[in-house]
């Protein structure tokens, strides 16, 4: 069986270097029916490894109840990976982050963990955490151990923990060591690693985007024997409700970043994400940076493969790199990691007034022995020409044209293959080198119309023979060969020989991304996607998808080529289906009298066994006289629609349309029924607030007052460096402020330190809660000079909600907010004070979930009451088209979608998500679409779109061209 090792140089399989080309493709974010297509796309893109986290809460939804069926069939997913010839990385650490609900921890576990060190028992050696973790490992790890590469399976690496530096308990290496031992004890034999949480017994990979190449260099300086591998390359970003779409990282940015990584000697990376998928059901988490950063249902992530399986420009940008790295990555990464500065001499293009801007210095320019590598960078908005001088006999003077916003690596005296071939120089991008028994193939690419040169050499005593120069000019002088060419829309194939046949190919960049190696059979150039091929009686049968850049060419291993007939690609249908009739269906819990669980006072959802989604709290009260008052919820997470006697009275909690912690009510005398539909929008997946509790964590109170204290602050920054925390005890009226009457939601200042002071007034005997939301920079909140909470991106993460009652004094009190590295981001602040003696005297009960009625349920509910809408529709692929299928909820408010009983996820029409994915595999001939609409909207404009899907086509190619058909 095979053996995987991890050393300073990177990964090796049975002693042979393996450049890690991995992509995050999480099985649980895709319907099982889509796994094969996604994996084939990944393989076609040149990935050799599939990377996945493993969410504990998905697989053990209730303690002791294991779930490995459907899209949770992890063993089946790993078996499919190895069937398709790919490797796998598994990340079983209980903490996965991943923008996933509760970071992967089961809510039944976190509900019972009392606060430990730094407020956390999680991710430490606390026995209350380790014992259930090891029980989970008892079930999980044997499934992984039998699927390791040394057992014939796909698994080549296993992660210990994840981003432990972000845990709030960084430095608990005893916990990481215990976890590593637990993995080994249960049969893990492949290399272990961690990311962003260094240990002594395993390598550390790095995560990130901005500055990631510099992080690899810093890691190498700190640990010279550590491999330079990126475990998460964040080439996109997640979306959250109410924020703009995070699609600003372009294909050009990914192209640049991958060049940066190779320039420092990176030995492999994993795209986070390669194909993001969807948060079906209630699985989206929340993260730091504010009180409303909850994940959208879509986890498209701006990935190379989009949420519907479509190929984006990032797919093709990444694929060009993968082709190069699959053939030369391990060789070049070792060169770049150990090279010394100097090599080629570069003259940067100077500015020419009125004509051109100046160029930039090389990103990196190094040599290792006679081999040189020069990474020319051009951040400008126009193409630049660099002059490059290579030493050697003879020396070379090259004019290198570098496109705007791009990097071009130029290698000098680079050995290729085992026949002694040397690439002396080149001026276009090097795509890859394939050594086949019948001849080698060397491929370059550039912009259409680019003129360039390639210099090649073979060992002394051999001489070049020109077989077919195509449109290029070849100059052979003994063991040296120079090819002068220009790049057109049609590939140029130069066939030469020097003891061994060589085909040199010149392509445009678009064609390079569509260059498909077919193993020993040769290459196909042109199709958008080649997923599979196999031998048939008629020749090589190749499965393609999408369109093709014409002419379509087959290049055999000996360099002969044939132009193939243009494929007949039928365009997929694009149809819209509007359900003809919607039926309004009542929510049972809104008026039901039975099925309620009595309780003395409200408790968190997870304590009540409602781990995900919605729950109902019911308070039955009686008042003697009419009253106008506020209903106060000092401890609600996250959002509650309040129904008073069946009518919607308002929304408490976070997000648009909610009133925060207090709601004004007008109540007549008599008996009243208060019902709160509470929505858990997702638990933290990052930072020190892991394991947060949801729902109504405390009872309700009458008469509380919520004040917006965003305005009225004074600011100090000039004195901050000198006075430090002494400012926290200052009175606003007694300091010399740099700015008065500051609105912290609109404070145009940036600096290393800023202090903001504000007076507050709380009636004697009242409890007081301060809520503040802002950025993730570090800082602290003080009350009357005493620290209440210190915060950072990991602690609190931009959300402060603190009961400050114990620090109050009679009369005036002072809040002091200290922010480090403030850069003008908006903050908001509220003060809630209430009389604890005014707790709601009620008969409390609870019901989990939301249930559609089977028969009409009386009770009204008003125009904004939560309600279900049901529509039935037929689907015929031949008529409606093959998809992808997506749902437009324009005109709706907020709620949940089910298709044939499958929970497709949350919708919330506050942006940025416009469509909800309806997986093809969930569709039937006759279908039911069910919407839970929380805000009383009607589905007048709702429709289903069956989009255009790229149609597959097949081309069958004889193994050798017929006589007289050797040229393109």
Residue 23: half-sphere exposure toward Cβ, Cα within 13 Å: 30
- Active-site pick, 163, 204, 260, 934: 163
For the question of residue 479 being annotated catalytic, the response is no
Nearest to 323 by CA among 500, 487, 441, 496: 441
Q: Which two tokens stand for residue 687?
A: 């930072």
For residue 690, the Cα-to-chain-centroid distance in whole angstroms is 19
Contact 262, 256 (CB under 8 A): no
CA 650/CA 862 separation, integer angstroms: 12
DSSP per-residue letters across 330-396: HHHHHHHHH-EE--SEEEPPPPBTTTB------SEEEEETTEEEEEEEE-SSS-EEEEEEE-SSS-E
Nearest to 154 by CA among 87, 76, 74: 87
**For residue 830, what are its two tokens?**
């509220």
C-alpha–C-alpha distance, residues 953 and 313, integer Å = 21
Rounded CA separation 500/421 (Å)? 9
Q: How many CA within 13 A on the CB side of residue 71?
A: 23
The dihedral formed by the CA atoms of 236, 242, 244 and 246, expressed in degrees to the nearest 10: 0
Distance of CA 596 to the CA centre of its chain: 40
Reduce the DSSP state of residue 744 to 3 states and report it. Answer: coil
The sign of the CA dihedral 386, 391, 397, 402 is negative
Identify whether the C-beta of residue 807 lies closer than 8 Å to the C-beta of residue 697: no
| Cβ neighbours of residue 88 closer than 8 Å, sequence gap 6 or more | 49, 50, 51, 52, 78, 81, 82, 147, 153, 154, 155, 156
Q: Report yes or no: 481 and 495 within 8 Å, Cβ to Cβ.
A: no
The answer to whether the beta carbons of residues 381 and 405 sit under 8 Å apart is yes
Cα dist from 27 to 41, 62, 143, 305, whole Å:
14, 20, 16, 14
Q: Which residue matches tokens 């372009």?
A: 250
Return the residue matching tokens 């459907």: 70
C-beta atoms surrounding 74 within 10 Å: 22
The answer to whether residue 382 is catalytic is: no
Task: Tell which residue, 344, 339, 377, 334, has the closest CA to residue 359.
Answer: 377
Q: What is d(CA 101, CA 936) in angstroms, rounded to the nearest whole number?
A: 27
Pick left, alpha or beta for residue 392 (phi over 0 → left; psi -120 to 50 → alpha; otherwise beta).
left
Kindly state the tokens that stand for 898.
């089910």
| Residue 293: Cβ-neighbour burial (10 angstroms; 0-12, 13-18, 19+) | buried
Residue from 232, 401, 547, 945 carrying the catalytic annotation: 232
**Radius of gyration (C-alpha) of the chain in whole angstroms:** 32
**Contact criterion met (CB below 8 Å) for 231 and 206:** yes
For the chain, the straight-line distance linking the first and the last C-alpha, in angstroms and rounded, comes to 43
User: Active-site positions?
Assistant: 163, 232
């Amino acid at each position: 069986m095979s053996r995987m090792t991890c050393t300073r140089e990177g990964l090796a399989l049975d002693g042979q270097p393996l450049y890690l080309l991995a992509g995050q493709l999480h099985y649980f974010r895709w319907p099982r029916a889509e796994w094969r297509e996604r994996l084939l796309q990944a393989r076609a893109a040149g990935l050799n490894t599939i990377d996945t986290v493993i969410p504990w809460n998905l697989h053990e939804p209730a303690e002791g109840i294991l779930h490995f069926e459907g899209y949770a069939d992890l063993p089946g997913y790993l078996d499919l990976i190895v069937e398709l010839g790919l490797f796998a990385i598994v990340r079983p650490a209980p903490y996965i982050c991943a923008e996933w609900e509760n970071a992967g921890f089961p809510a039944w576990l976190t509900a019972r963990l009392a606060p430990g060190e730094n407020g956390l028992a999680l991710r430490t050696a606390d026995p209350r955490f380790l014992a259930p973790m090891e029980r989970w490992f008892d079930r999980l790890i044997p499934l992984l151990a039998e699927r390791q590469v040394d057992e014939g399976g796909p698994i080549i690496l296993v992660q210990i923990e994840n981003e432990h530096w972000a845990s709030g308990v960084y430095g608990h290496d005893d916990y990481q060591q215990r976890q590593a031992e637990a993995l080994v004890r249960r049969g893990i034999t492949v290399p272990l690693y961690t990311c962003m949480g260094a240990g002594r017994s395993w390598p550390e990979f790095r995560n990130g985007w901005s500055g990631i190449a510099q992080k690899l260099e810093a890691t190498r300086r700190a640990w010279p024997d550590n491999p330079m591998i990126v475990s998460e390359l964040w080439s996109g970003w997640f979306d959250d409700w109410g924020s703009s779409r995070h699609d600003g990282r372009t294909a050009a940015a990914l192209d640049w970043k991958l060049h940066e990584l190779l320039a420092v000697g990176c030995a492999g990376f994993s795209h986070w994400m390669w194909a993001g998928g969807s948060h079906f059901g209630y699985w989206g988490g929340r993260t730091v940076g504010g009180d409303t950063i909850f994940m959208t249902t879509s986890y498209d992530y701006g990935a190379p493969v989009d949420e519907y399986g479509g190929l984006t420009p990032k797919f093709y940008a990444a694929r060009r790199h993968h082709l190069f790295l699959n053939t030369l990555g391990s060789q070049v990464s070792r060169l770049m990691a150990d090279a010394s500065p100097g090599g080629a001499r570069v003259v940067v293009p100077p500015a020419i007034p009125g004509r051109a801007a100046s160029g930039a210095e090389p990103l990196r320019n190094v040599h290792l022995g006679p081999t040189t590598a020069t990474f020319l960078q051009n951040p400008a908005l126009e193409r630049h020409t660099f002059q490059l001088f290579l030493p050697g006999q003879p020396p070379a003077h090259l004019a290198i044209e570098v496109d705007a916003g791009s990097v071009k690596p130029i290698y000098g005296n680079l050995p290729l293959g085992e026949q002694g071939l040397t690439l002396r120089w080149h001026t276009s991008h090097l795509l890859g080198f394939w050594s086949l028994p019948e001849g080698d193939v060397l491929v370059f690419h550039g912009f259409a119309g680019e003129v360039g040169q390639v210099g090649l050499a073979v060992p002394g005593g051999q001489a070049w023979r020109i077989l077919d120069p195509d449109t290029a000019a070849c100059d052979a002088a003994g063991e040296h060969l120079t090819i002068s060419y220009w790049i057109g829309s049609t590939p140029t194939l130069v066939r030469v020989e020097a003891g061994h046949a060589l085909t040199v190919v010149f392509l445009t960049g678009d064609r390079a991304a569509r260059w498909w190696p077919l193993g020993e059979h040769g290459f196909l150039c042109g199709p958008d996607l080649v997923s599979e091929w196999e031998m048939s009686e008629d020749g090589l049968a190749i499965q393609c998808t999408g369109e093709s850049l014409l002419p379509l060419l087959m290049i055999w291993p000996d360099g002969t080529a044939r132009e193939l007939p243009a494929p007949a690609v039928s365009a997929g249908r694009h149809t819209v289906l509007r359900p003809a009739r919607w039926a309004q269906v009542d929510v049972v819990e809104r008026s039901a009298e039975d099925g309620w669980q009595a309780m003395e006072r409200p408790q968190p959802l997870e304590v009540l066994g409602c781990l995900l989604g919605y729950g109902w709290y019911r308070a039955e009260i009686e008042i003697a006289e009419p009253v106008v008052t506020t209903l106060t919820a000092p401890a609600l997470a996250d959002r509650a629609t309040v129904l008073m006697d069946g009518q919607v009275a308002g929304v408490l909690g976070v997000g648009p349309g909610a009133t925060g912690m207090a709601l004004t009510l007008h109540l007549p005398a008599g008996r009243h029924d208060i019902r709160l539909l509470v929505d858990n929008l997702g638990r933290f997946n990052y930072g020190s607030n892991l394991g947060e509790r949801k729902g109504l964590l405390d009872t309700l109170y009458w008469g509380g007052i919520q004040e917006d204290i965003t305005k009225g602050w004074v600011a100090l920054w000039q004195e901050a460096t000198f006075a430090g925390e002494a400012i926290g005890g200052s009175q606003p009226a007694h300091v010399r402020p740099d700015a008065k009457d500051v609105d912290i939601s609109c404070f145009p200042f940036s600096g290393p330190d800023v202090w903001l002071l504000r007076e507050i007034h709380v009636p004697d005997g009242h409890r007081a809660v301060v809520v503040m939301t802002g950025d993730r920079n570090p800082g602290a909140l003080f009350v009357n000079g005493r620290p209440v909470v210190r915060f950072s991106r990991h602690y609190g993460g931009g959300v402060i909600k603190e009961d400050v009652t114990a620090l109050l004094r009679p009369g005036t009190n002072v809040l002091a907010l200290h922010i480090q590295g403030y850069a003008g981001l908006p903050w908001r602040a509220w003060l809630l004070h209430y009389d604890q003696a005014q707790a709601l005297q009620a008969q409390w009960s609870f019901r989990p979930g939301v249930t559609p009625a089977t028969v009409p349920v009386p009770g009204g509910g008003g125009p904004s009451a939560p309600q279900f809408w049901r529509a039935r529709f037929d689907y015929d692929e031949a008529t409606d088209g093959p998809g992808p299928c997506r749902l437009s909820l324009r005109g709706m408010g907020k709620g949940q979608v089910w298709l044939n009983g499958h929970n497709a996820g949350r919708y919330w029409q506050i942006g940025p998500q416009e469509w909800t994915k309806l997986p093809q595999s969930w569709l039937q001939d006759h279908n039911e679409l069910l919407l839970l609409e929380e805000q009383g909207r009607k589905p007048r404009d709702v429709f289903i779109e069956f989009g255009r899907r790229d149609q597959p086509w097949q081309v069958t190619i004889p193994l050798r061209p017929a006589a007289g058909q050797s040229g393109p």
